[in-house]
Amino acid sequence: MNLKEKKVNSSTVYDGKIIKVEVDEVELPDGRHSKRECVRHSGGAAVLFVKGDEIALVRQFRYLYGEETYEIPAGKLNDGEDAQQAALRELEEETGYRAISSRHLLGIYPTPGYTDEIIHIYFVADAVYAGQKLDEGEFLNVQFVPVKRVLEMISEGAIKDAKTVCAVLAYQLSNNN
Amino acid sequence: MNLKEKKVNSSTVYDGKIIKVEVDEVELPDGRHSKRECVRHSGGAAVLFVKGDEIALVRQFRYLYGEETYEIPAGKLNDGEDAQQAALRELEEETGYRAISSRHLLGIYPTPGYTDEIIHIYFVADAVYAGQKLDEGEFLNVQFVPVKRVLEMISEGAIKDAKTVCAVLAYQLSNNN
C-alpha cells in the first residue's frame, strides 16, 4: 500500500525565533484532502559526554513544563552549521569542555506527528576544559553524575528528556554487549 | 541558583487540532524579560506491545519527514482520557489487539525547548485480537518484528522515533539485568 501524502497548499501561521508553524493541505492515499500542522525547526544537536564514569548533565528550568530538568548538553543548529559542529559548540558553551574527538551515536525524531526536528546525538569521551560560555539569558548548572545513578534517575522518572534517555540507554546497552 | 522563569504575558498565535501555539513573555532569574515559543499539546500515549519475541511496529507515512517511519502504536490523548486509556485505545485501533494487562514503562519529554507534550509509554505482553479500527484518514501497516531485529534497526538508523527508541532500549536493558 502506498502511504504517501502530497502537499497541495501551505500557509505560514507563525514565524518565530525557534520554530515556524505551517498548516499544509495534503492529498491522502485515497485522494481525499486533510490538514497537517507542521512545526518547522532548524534541527537539534546534543552530546553524551562521559568523563571517566560520569555523564555531564545540564540542570535548567524548562518553562514549558514549569520545572527543572536534567538533560545532556544540547541546542539548536545555527544558520549554516551542521549537527556535529552545533553539538560540540553547545557542549563547550554549556559545560566548558572542548571535545578532542566525537562520534555520531543516534539521530532521533522527537515527536513526528507535528515537528520536523531531527536531534543528532554525539558521543564524546575525550575533552579538555576551556571555560563555560553561556548565551545571554541562558541559566543552567552542569553536574557530572555517575552512569549508574543516571540510569536510576531514568527508572525513577527524574530524567524524562527523550534525547537524554535515548543517549544514555544506547550507551549502556553498547557497554553491556 | 534559582532558575525559575515567571510568566508575564501570553498570546495565542495558533489554535489547531493537534497543537496550540502561544508566545509567552517571561521574567528570567536576573529580572530581564524574554520570549518563549510554546507548542501546547494534550499529551501522547504509546504502547510497547511484545508478542512472544516480537514487537508491534506501525509503519506509516510521516508528512513532516516526507518518509515512512516505524513506530510503536501511539496517539494523542482525547478529551477526558488519561494516558493509559489512550495508549490501550490506540493499541487496539492500530493493531487490533486489546490488552489484558499493562504497566507504565516511561514518561518522556520529546523536545522540551518548545513543546509541553508528555508521552507516556506502557508495556503490554498479554492481549487478545479484537480487530483493527483505524480512524478515517489513517493509513498504516502493522508489522511484528523480532526484538533483535528492532535493536538492529535502531543501530542502523532505520528506526529514529524517540518514543520507540526509548521504549525498546528500556525494555532490552531491563531484560539484560
Check CB contact under 8 Å for A109 and B162.
yes
Beta strands in chain B (DSSP E): 6-15, 20-27, 33-40, 44-51, 54-62, 67-71, 74-76, 97-108, 119-129, 140-146
Distance (Å, rounded) from C-alpha B50 to C-alpha B97? 11
> Is residue A161 over pLDDT 90?
yes
Contacting residues of A for B176, CB less than 8 Å apart:
173, 176
Distance (Å, rounded) from C-alpha A165 to C-alpha B154? 14
> Is residue B126 over pLDDT 70?
yes
A129 by DSSP, 3-state: which? strand
Q: How many CB atoms lie within 10 A of CB A76?
A: 19
The predicted pLDDT at position B84 comes to 98
Quote the pTM value. 0.97
Smallest CA–CA distance from B109 into chain A, residue: A161
pLDDT (mean) for B14-25: 98
pLDDT tens across B142-162, in order?
A: 999 999 999 999 999 999 999
Which among B118, B139, B173 has the least Cβ separation from residue A169? B173
> Is residue A128 over pLDDT 80?
yes
Which segment of A79-93, B48-62, B105-119, B129-143 scores lowest on mean pLDDT?
B129-143
Q: What is the ipTM score, two decimals?
A: 0.96
The predicted pLDDT at position B105 comes to 97
The per-residue DSSP string of B93-143 comes to HHH-EEEEEEEEEEEEBS-TTTB---EEEEEEEEEEE----PPTT--EEEE
The predicted pLDDT at position B140 comes to 86
Measure CA of the first residue to CA of the last residue in chain B; give whole Å. 37
Which among A14, A28, A108 has the least Cβ separation from residue B21? A14
> Is residue B18 over pLDDT 70?
yes
Model confidence at A131, in pLDDT bands (50, 70, 90)? confident
Question: Is-contact A88 A47, C-beta < 8 A?
Answer: yes
| Residue reference for cell 511496529 | B57
The predicted pLDDT at position B79 comes to 92
Phi and psi based region of residue B172 (left: phi greater than 0; alpha: psi -120 to 50; beta: remaining): alpha
pLDDT (mean) for B82-107: 97
pLDDT (mean) for B102-124: 98
> Is residue B128 over pLDDT 70?
yes
Strand B33-40 with B20-27, pairing: antiparallel
In chain B, what are the domains?
Answer: 6-40 (no CATH), 44-176 (3.90.79.10)
Distance (Å, rounded) from C-alpha A156 to C-alpha A148? 12
Contacting residues of A for B119, CB less than 8 Å apart:
111, 162
A124 by DSSP, 3-state: which? strand
The predicted pLDDT at position B135 comes to 77
Please count the residue pairs, one from chain A and one from chain B, whose beta carbons lie less than 8 angstroms apart: 208
The predicted pLDDT at position A66 comes to 97
The predicted pLDDT at position A1 comes to 64
Query: B28: Cβ–Cβ under 8 A, 6 or more apart, which residues?
Result: A137, A139, B5, B34
The grid coordinates of residue B45 equal 500515549
Residue B103 contacts A where some CB pair is shorter than 8 Å: no
Residue A110's nearest CA partner among A121, A98, A99, A101 is A121
Smallest CA–CA distance from A69 into chain B, residue: B112
Degrees, nearest 5: CA angle A48-A95-A77: 65
pLDDT tens across A73-108, in order?
A: 999 999 999 999 999 999 999 999 999 999 999 999
pLDDT tens across B31-45, in order?
A: 999 999 999 999 999
The predicted pLDDT at position B177 comes to 64
The predicted pLDDT at position A38 comes to 98
The predicted pLDDT at position A54 comes to 98
Q: Which of A136, A138, A152, A156 is catalytic?
A: A136
Which among B38, B69, B106 has the least Cβ separation from residue A112? B69
Model confidence at B1, in pLDDT bands (50, 70, 90)? low
> Is residue B136 over pLDDT 70?
yes
pLDDT (mean) for A30-49: 96
